[in-house]
A = this chain, B = another copy of it.
């Protein structure tokens, strides 16, 4: 296949669809955002997107300069190119989005979920360059994961591999959005961090600025800020969260003896307050033969670019 100079990356979120045209040096040379809701059908959404995108494509030399397009989207299936029953997207049922864009643009289009896209972006442009065995763990509304083994993205038998956020870490523990109990996501997603803060406010008597935030609006960002300003309760929340992540990764290590675990997303901005206990618990918990072997890293992708670069990497 001829190597053309650009790929298109689409970061498809519940609010916005952000398109970027990416060159071989991982520079996003053009960028445009389209609101995701507000179109009656997926067909009309694609039509609207393409009309906004084509002027940008023309500026880099037209569609003949585009190698392909990658889409990172929630509940996306790599094998079928469909989005399936995504709770936060406007379309219901199964939407063959890759096919719709492929028909409209005339370039190959591939799609995968956000966490897989982040892992591909990390491997092409970020902290995982040259690695063949690593897991990208995305902390946000949920806990996602993209797994690379033997240099290949792991999709599993149905395209839905990598739901490490729904690994049970506390049997019979906290309710999770998936309907089960004790999932990693219920403890270490953004909302999970806030739940740990509430739990600790109940257990401990110490003062904390977090006690002045209504629980319904308490976010992991508030915890990070309070911790950085010296609040001991918030620091303890991050320590507990980090240790839980470290223990979970120690278990994942059994699976594929990873070179690295790479963390991405809002809660990671807490920095060493989260990462130091994470590393510590990982090394304490991991099987002796794996000790000292895996790197615990923070993503090197810029937040605003990561999803686009990940989607773009998919098209390479």
A residues within 8 Å of B by Cβ? 132-133, 147, 149-150, 152, 154-168, 170-171, 178-180, 247, 250-252, 254-259, 285, 287-290, 293
The complex places the Cα of A255 from the Cα of B163 at a distance, in Å, of 6
Can you name 6 extra interface pairs (CB under 8 A) apart from A133-B157, A149-B150? A149-B154, A157-B257, A158-B289, A163-B287, A165-B254, A168-B285
CB nearest to A132 among chain B residues: B157
CB nearest to A260 among chain B residues: B157
A182 to chain B, nearest CB (A): 10
Find chain B residues with CB under 8 A from A168 CB: 247, 250-251, 285
A253 to chain B, nearest CB (A): 8
Find chain B residues with CB under 8 A from A257 CB: 155-161
Copy count, this protein chain? 2
The complex places the Cα of A140 from the Cα of B289 at a distance, in Å, of 21
Find chain B residues with CB under 8 A from A165 CB: 254
Task: Kindly list the 3 A-B residue pairs having the minimum CB-CB distance in the complex, ordered from nearest.
Answer: A156-B257, A161-B257, A163-B254
Q: Given the known inter-chain contacts A255-B252, A289-B163, please indicate yes or no for A150 contacting B154, CB distance below 8 A.
A: yes
Cβ A254 vs Cβ B162 within 8 A: yes
A192 to chain B, nearest CB (A): 16
The complex places the Cα of A7 from the Cα of B77 at a distance, in Å, of 41
CB nearest to A183 among chain B residues: B287
A309 to chain B, nearest CB (A): 24
Give 9 A-B contacts (CB < 8 Å), ordered by A residue: A132-B157, A157-B293, A159-B257, A160-B289, A161-B256, A162-B254, A165-B254, A167-B251, A180-B287
